[in-house]
């Protein structure tokens, strides 16, 4: 039996997997919320948002998490928006320092040494992404309009954010020697990408090529990018960026067609919409049928059956685990 890591590599390389890769199993290497490497000196240096709380994050963005809401959100009313005029970004946007004493990094060494890298990928979790950082700072409406109205200032800010991300990546890679990166950055709604492929290529592809190129040059074998949206039109750009696995494709992408068209250049992890399976009225039958549809239509290569959620969890208790059980059953039946 292949290890989880070997089985994933066989799947995305068109080799001989001996079962379906089961959702996030190959990346869960640490006792953290998502099972990935999520804590480091930078993360520890700033307050973490918790339900019911309001914090100012490392970039000055106010994050609010009301008790009655499942997740935290950046605030963009007049009082809280960090960047009100993109042309003023140099005066306003301050990147957080990354100069931590070596002992702060070293304290994580025992937990990293404990990872069985034959069985699992030592996987870094990172969020927000470059695009998300932009709209965290200025709000989504301004962000999208600024691509048109102030393109040069946007490129400068993207470059600034990317350089900071590269410095952060360098420290993470040198200290943690990760095998994989799991990066969040949502690029669309369920119906379309936020921006056109041409705009995406002009603004975001060069930035991500640099960032993902940095990770790969420092030994990261696998770039897994979370984007639970319609982005079928961006797949060639994702390949150019260096993404190995797109996690989160929703069913509107027609993932089976993408697997046929791009399999071998990139793999797809998702196609089981949380909007369908992870609801207050969820049932095992609906979930099992979705899992079966997904593996039957996508096949065994270049595809990893997974919920579209950006981590190994579900909104409703038991859904993630039930989906894992159904995928295991399908593996026994189909391999």
Interface residue list for another protein (CB under 8 A): 64, 66, 68-70, 73, 140-141, 144-145, 147-149, 189-196, 199, 274-275, 278-280, 315-316
| Closer residue to another protein (CB): 128 or 242 | 128
Q: Reduce the secondary structure of 167-235 to three states and give it as a string.
A: HHHHHHHHHHCCCEEEEECCCECCCCECCCHHHHHHHCHHHHHHHHHHHHHCCCCEEEEECCCCCHHHH
| Closer residue to another protein (CB): 175 or 274 | 274
Residue 253 Cβ, how far from another protein at the closest point, in Å?
13
| Closer residue to another protein (CB): 194 or 268 | 194
| Closer residue to another protein (CB): 202 or 240 | 202
DSSP string computed for 269-301: EEEE-HHHHSSTT--HHHHHHHHHHHHHHH-SS
Residue 50 Cβ, how far from another protein at the closest point, in Å?
16
Residue 279 Cβ, how far from another protein at the closest point, in Å?
5
d(CA 187, CA 81): 21
d(CA 90, CA 97): 16
Rounded to whole angstroms, what are the CA distances from 184 to 131, 146, 177, 229? 10, 22, 20, 12
Residue 214 Cβ, how far from another protein at the closest point, in Å?
28
Residue 84 Cβ, how far from another protein at the closest point, in Å?
16
| Closer residue to another protein (CB): 83 or 309 | 309
What crossing angle do the helices spanning 205-217 and 151-176 adopt, rounded to 10°?
Answer: 10
Q: Which residues contact 102 (CB under 8 A, 6 or more apart)?
A: none
Residue 148 Cβ, how far from another protein at the closest point, in Å?
5
| Closer residue to another protein (CB): 122 or 258 | 258
Omega of the bond prior to 106 within 30 degrees of 0, cis? no
């Amino acid at each position: 039996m292949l290890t989880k890591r070997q089985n994933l590599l066989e799947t995305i390389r068109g080799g001989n997997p001996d079962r379906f890769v089961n959702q996030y199993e190959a990346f869960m290497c640490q006792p953290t919320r998502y099972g990935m490497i999520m804590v480091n000196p930078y993360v520890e240096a700033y307050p973490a948002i918790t339900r019911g709380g309001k914090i100012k994050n490392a970039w000055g963005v106010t994050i609010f998490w009301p008790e009655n809401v499942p997740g935290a959100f950046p605030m963009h009313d007049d009082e809280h928006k960090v960047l009100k005029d993109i042309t003023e970004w140099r005066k306003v946007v301050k990147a957080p320092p990354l100069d931590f004493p070596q002992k702060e990094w070293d304290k994580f060494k025992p937990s990293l040494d404990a990872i069985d890298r034959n069985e699992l990928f030592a996987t870094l979790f990172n969020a927000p992404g470059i695009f998300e950082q932009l709209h965290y700072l200025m709000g989504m409406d301004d962000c999208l309009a600024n691509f048109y109205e102030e393109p040069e200032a946007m490129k400068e800010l993207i470059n600034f954010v990317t350089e900071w991300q590269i410095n952060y990546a360098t420290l993470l890679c040198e200290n943690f020697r990760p095998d994989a990166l799991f990066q969040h950055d949502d690029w669309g709604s369920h119906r379309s990408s936020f921006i056109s492929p041409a705009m995406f290529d002009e603004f975001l592809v060069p930035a991500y090529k640099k960032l993902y190129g940095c990770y790969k040059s420092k030994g990261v074998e696998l770039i897994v990018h979370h984007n639970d949206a319609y982005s079928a039109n961006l797949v060639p750009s994702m390949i150019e960026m260096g993404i190995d696995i797109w996690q989160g494709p929703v069913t509107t992408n027609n993932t089976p067609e993408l697997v046929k068209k791009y399999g071998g250049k990139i793999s797809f992890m998702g196609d089981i919409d949380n909007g369908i399976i992870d609801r207050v009225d969820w049932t095992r039958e609906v979930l099992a049928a979705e899992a079966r549809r997904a593996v039957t239509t996508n096949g065994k290569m270049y595809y990893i059956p997974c919920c579209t959620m950006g981590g190994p969890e579900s909104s409703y208790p038991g859904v993630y685990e039930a989906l894992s059980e159904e995928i295991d059953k399908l593996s026994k039946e189909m391999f």
